[in-house]
Amino acid sequence: MTDDIEFTGRNEPPAPLKVGDELTLYLETTYAEDVARTAALLAKGKEFLVISDDVADAEATEFMVKVRARFKASEASRVAEKTPYDDNAGRVHAFFKAKVLDPLGLVAPDKKSFDPVKRTDLGLGPRINMAQTLYKTAKAEAERKRREEEARIAAEEERKRREAALAAERAAQEAERAAARKRNEESRAVAEAEAAKARAAAEAAREAENRAAEERAAAQAAAAAPMADLSRSRGERGGTASLKTFTDFRDIDRDSIDLEMLRPYLPDKALEQAVRGWVDANKAAAATAIKTGTQPIRGVVIFEAYRSAGRA
């Protein structure tokens, strides 16, 4: 009995995968005959790019058998050669996707709000992002309500200051009129001093009103701040996060949506898919329209087309 193990046939270990220039050289050497046959077919095929009689058509049919056979054979070789690479690439992809990428970054299929605690099928990053979004939204709404209350208090204070300023102004005017009515010099001097005090009080009240108006305007501006300002946070390492405002939509009603308004924004590919869907679902109606020379869909020409089909 010997410890040596001889690998033969299916017991042979798999050869290491070739990469780079080594792989290119291997393919060029192994499939040189395939490339040569393809080149010969390409050269010969130019003769059949214009068909002018039945003989040429028959020859083209036979030639296409060769083309399809060569294509199928080379496609089989391609699949055989790339399968080991695909298998290994699949393993690499599956490893990182299952172990790192999905746990960290798998996102929800839509932008709707979700419970970050319960959505364990999603990645950690999107779940934390949603948790931050929910918190920041609540924080911003609470901050806005606080600022709106401050703005309300400031507006009420401005109203009181305005009324006090008007009262002080009326008192100053009355004191001035009283001073003017005094005939005695001494009493007039006393009245004028009182009037001066009243005028100073009126000016102070007016200044207080102006300050209250400025505070009210500042409070209203703070209450109208964007959500980003109301929700911004900063980490110890300098990272910042805030709510980003974007326009979204929901509850699309297929039967009542205004397609005319959306017309300028529908890509050609979407229109082609819609028309193709109608044609596939209404083949009888399309055939009738073609026979009668009518067009069932305005803006589209539906016609009968042909293509050569053959088998190897």
Burial of 31 (0-12, 13-18, 19+ CB in 10 A): middle
pLDDT, mean of residues 157-175: 89
Residue with tokens 């980490």: 235
Q: How far is CA 191 from CA 1, 188, 204, 219, in A?
A: 135, 5, 20, 41
Work out the mean pLDDT of the chain and round it to a whole number. 87
Q: In the structure encoding, which two tokens stand for residue 14, read together?
A: 């798999």
Rounded-to-integer distance, Cα 71 and Cα 48, Å: 18
- Residue type for position 19: V
Structure confidence at residue 163 as a pLDDT band (50, 70, 90)? very high
Rounded-to-integer distance, Cα 137 and Cα 146, Å: 14
pLDDT digits (tens, 9 = 90+) for 179-190: 777 766 667 777
Structure confidence at residue 257 as a pLDDT band (50, 70, 90)? very high
Higher-confidence position of 229 and 281: 281
Q: What is the pTM of this model?
A: 0.60
Q: Out of 10-24, 94-108, 289-303, pick the least confident.
A: 10-24
Instruction: Determine the distance from the C-alpha atom of residue 268 to the mean position of all C-alpha atoms in its chain, rounded to a whole number.
Output: 21
**Residue ranges per domain, the chain?**
16-105, 124-241, 251-312
pLDDT, mean of residues 77-97: 93
Higher-confidence position of 188 and 89: 89
Which ranges of the chain does DSSP label H, i.e. alpha helix?
A: 20-30, 32-45, 54-96, 102-105, 124-181, 185-223, 227-231, 259-262, 268-281, 283-292
Residue 109 three-state SS: coil
Side-chain-facing half-sphere of 59: CA atoms under 13 Å = 13
Residue 13 three-state SS: coil
Which strand (E) or helix (H) includes residue 4?
none
